[in-house]
Structure 1
C-alpha cells in the first residue's frame, strides 16, 4: 500500500486510528517474553513492552501502559512492523524509522504506516514521544544479539 506523506489529514488518521484502537496494546505475560519498562520524566508516557522471539524471528511484539497519542501510535505501528521479522530485519526497520525521526537519510518505501511520523523532526518536543516505545523494542532486540 502506498502512503501519501504529503496528505497531513491521512497521516493524522493513521496516528489517531492506532491511538484509539491499538492492535498490539496488551501483554502476554508469558515467561518466555522479553520485557522492558520505558517511561518519561517529562510527560505521562509509561510503557511496558514485550517481545516473544523464537528461532531469531519476532513472533509477538506488544505493549501496555499509558501514553500520549504519538507514543501509543508509534509503538503500536512499530509492533505491527516487527512481528514476523527476524531480529536483524527488525533492527533495520527501527534504524530506518529513527533516521527519519532525526532527519537523516532514510528509505521511505520501507516505512509503511510509520511514515505518519515524517514531520516529527520538525517538532523536537515530539521526538521523545515518537521514540520511547521504539527505543524499548530496539534495546530488547540488541540485547538478544549480545546473548547469541
Structure 2
C-alpha cells in the first residue's frame, strides 16, 4: 500500500471538545466507573467505604466471586430486595466482562432506587486477569466468561 497525504482527517472529522468540556465529561465518567485494579487495591488496604455487588446470577456467584462481594442478581433488584442496604454507602457493581451489561443494568436499577453506584469496568474477568483472588465452589476453575 502506498502512502498518500490526505487533507481530510477521520480523527478530526468531529472536532475535539474544549478542554473544559472534556474535563467535565471525563470527571462525569469517573464518577460512575472504577476499575478492577482500584477496587483490588482498596480491598487489600482494608477499605470498607463501599459495598461490592455481584450482579450475575446466584449460581454464577456461588461458583466464583470476589471475596467480600454480595450477590444481588440484577433481575432481582427491587426496593424490597435492597431495603437492608444503607444508601449512605456507595456500591461498586460488577458482572462477567466488558461484553456483559448486567452491572450496567444493576447500576441503573440501584441508582433509580436512590443508591450511589459505580460500575467496575472489566468485571470479574479483568479482576482475575489482574491476579485478583476469587472464591466459590469452582473458584479459579470457573470460566472467565459466560
- The TM-score by the shorter chain falls in which range? under 0.3
Q: Which has the larger radius of gyration?
A: 2
Q: With the length of structure 1 as denominator, give the TM-score of the two structures.
A: 0.26
